[in-house]
Amino acid sequence: MNGREKDIDPTSELVEEDEESTLPETEDAALDLSEAPGSPATGHKALARYAKHAPSSPGVYRMLDAAGEVLYVGKAKNIKKRIVAYTRPTGHDTRIERVIASTAVVEFVSTATETEALLLEANLIKRLRPRFNVLLRDDKSFPYILITADHWAPQILKHRGARSREGRYYGPFASVWAVNRTVTALQRAFLLRSCSDGFFEGRTRPCLLHQIKRCSAPCTHEIEFADYAELVREANEFLSGKSQAVKEELATEMEKASADLDFERAAIYRDRLAALSAVQSTQGINPRSVEEADVFAIHQEGGFSCVEVFFFRTGQNWGNRAYFPKADRSFEPGEVLGAFLAQFYDDKPCPGCIFLSHEIPERALLAEALSAKSGRKIEVSVPQRGEKKDLVSHVLANAREALGRKLADSSSQLKLLTALADRFGLPRVPKRIEVYDNSHIQGTNAVGAMIVVGPEGFRKNQYRKFNIRSADITPGDDFGMMREMLQRRFKRLIAEAPKIVLPGDMPVHDERLLSPASQSGADEDGESPWPDLVLIDGGQGQLNAARETLGVLGIADVPLVAIAKGPDRDAGNETFFLPDRPAVKLPPRDPILYFVQRLRDEAHRFAIGSHRQRRKKDIREAGLQEIPGIGPTRKRALLRHFGTLKAIERASLGDLAQVTGINDETARKIYDFFHEAAAAR
């Protein structure tokens, strides 16, 4: 977290504290190696020795195992007392006993106050992801609406990330879809431009957005500066919570225009009012007594937790999102919610009020820490009556429904995985499936892609792309690309999570990687990084290439299946190729076929997206001359007309053909170059 702990350099402090807390190699400090590693006795001895040197001050401690893996990060008002408490032989729950038994090293970081310790603890948990802490997953930044203030004609746009640009930010919104929908409605209501400054400066006539009444076209002075400034003022007021006042102003202007028999102008105000009503009608519940707040509710069922959050800003509901934090089953709802909140606000601005469904440990301390971080008073409360209580109950009902859907989806996914294992004769139900595909245009900008799917669905944080870089591969050689991709993937996997050979010379995955106590080779959920099934987009040739590649690496126990499209590349006619077995076709309406098609299509989508990103980067570096028929003169004409490369990419055939020196044939070449969705293979 940033904030009051900004004066603390976690890296440097950890190094200093490590040097201070690492005991000299004396007889007293040495661990008794006769004790079985990972046993409660060994853990208690290690904690007792480190407790002697623990500081009696607020701070954060890290418990590590013998391999250096961080097991648990905690904070304490007095670190020494907390470590001593762990040395008690009894009185710990099962989770703490497991941590103690695995602990070999304890590291300390002292802080000035317990508040700073709480902030630093959340920061370290997010960065180190210890498996015995509550872990916030899917922690993406939220999108905002930005009305810029660094141009005479302010722009309205979607924004995500650091607030480095001058202007007014509104949000957060729960999803990009909600922002896009709202920006579109606000464009209709206030006619603000959304184009880039480069595109704006290069216009000589209004663009299509002006024609469809979503922009007042300040670029060509279709509107006066003072009138555009008034539109910007109205938009800022509406987003600042003065929506009713803005709507009353528009209604008054509409009635005035109608009384003057200026029905065209009255229709404009009518459409703007309708757009504003559309914005508010899609926001759901809008409580009168809540101006700015985040509302959190947690529901637990079946050993899983769901935290639902609703965002309210300027009296308006800006959407909601469900989270499913990773937490041990022994955690109570309040414990999960408290740990979740500290990590949630690690890199996000806080509203003035935070309403909770359950009481959390150290609620006052969390409010103090968030207030210190924000530089203003933050209230954290559990409403007991009135509209706020009803609001929390509404959010709790959403959390209950979201977790129910999640459990149902997981159950359906498990049934599909079980049926898939049965259909293809897999040794066990796959917990990790890797799907491989590649994308290129006549061999150029070749990119390989790997997606991962498990019992909970797609694991997008584990997707990987491979820029094909071997000079020995002939352009367009799909088999060579598959070999390079699999070789790089599994060479790294062997180095990071090697296999062991048990008696009988049967290679299996390291047992440590298959248990919750997995080491560095495991993913954040403690599961093996080795796939239980590899799906290849291709036919017998791709399967043979994959099999040969894994064979050279000494890997023979990873199941392989290749998916070949039908003669007309129609979905439903796929043929499945398996090693040393006849090819298989599934019935057209088989759920397993639909499931595998979805995996294949997701890999194809990710591969094409990665290919396009690489191709666009090359275009920026090489210029538009890469397009056949485009030289320096036509390039200058295109940039002079459209302003930016991105505008050229989005241009229609008609717009391209209107550029000086660009005929219909060249316009078609330019358009096809940026829109070859079917040809990107």
Task: Please calculate the CA angle 661-667-670 and round it to the nearest 5 degrees.
Answer: 115
**Helix (H/G/I), strand (E/B), else coil: 480:** helix
Query: What does pLDDT average to over the chain?
Result: 79
Rounded to whole angstroms, the Cα distance separating 95 from 133 reads 10
How far apart are alpha carbons 50 and 312 in whole angstroms? 47
- Residue 593: predicted pLDDT: 87
Task: Convert 403-447 into a string of H (helix), E (strand) and C (coil).
Answer: HHHHHHHHHHHHHHHHHHHHHHCCCCCCCCEEEEEEEEECCEEEE
Q: In Å, how far from its chain's centre is CA 458?
A: 12
pLDDT band, residue 139 (cuts 50/70/90) = low
Longest CA pairwise span in the chain (Å): 99
Q: What does the pLDDT look like over 200-210, one tens digit per residue? A: 888 888 888 88
Rounded distance between C-alpha atoms, residue 160 and residue 444, angstroms: 32
Are 47 and 70 a contacting pair, CB within 8 Å?
A: no
- Which residue in this structure is represented by tokens 């040739």? 541
- Of 343, 214, 353, the C-alpha closest to 272 is 214
Is the pLDDT at 519 greater than 60? The verdict is no
Q: Is 535:436 a contact under the CB 8 Å cutoff?
A: yes
pLDDT on residue 25? 37
Contact 432, 531 (CB under 8 A): yes
Q: Which helix (H) or strand (E) holds 508?
A: strand 506-508
Q: Is there a cis peptide before residue 559, judged by omega within 30 degrees of 0?
A: no
Q: For residue 440, report the phi and psi dihedrals to the nearest 5 degrees.
A: -165, 170
According to the model, what pLDDT value does residue 13 have? 37
> What is the CB neighbour count within 10 angstroms for residue 302?
12
pLDDT tens per residue, range 74-102 = 999 999 999 999 988 887 888 888 899 88
What is the per-residue pLDDT for 365? Answer: 92
Domains located in the chain, CATH noted: 4-128 (3.40.1440.10), 144-281 (no CATH), 293-405 (3.30.420.340), 433-612 (3.30.420.340), 623-674 (1.10.150.20)
Asked whether the predicted pLDDT for residue 569 surpasses 80, the reply is: no
Rounded distance, CA 542 to CA 481, Å? 10
Mean pLDDT is lowest, of 197-206, 419-428, 436-445, for 436-445
At residue 511, the pLDDT reads 37
Max mean pLDDT among 284-293, 415-424, 668-677 falls in: 415-424
Does the pLDDT of residue 657 top 50, yes or no? yes
- 533 sits in which H/E element: strand 533-537
Predicted pLDDT at 272: 74
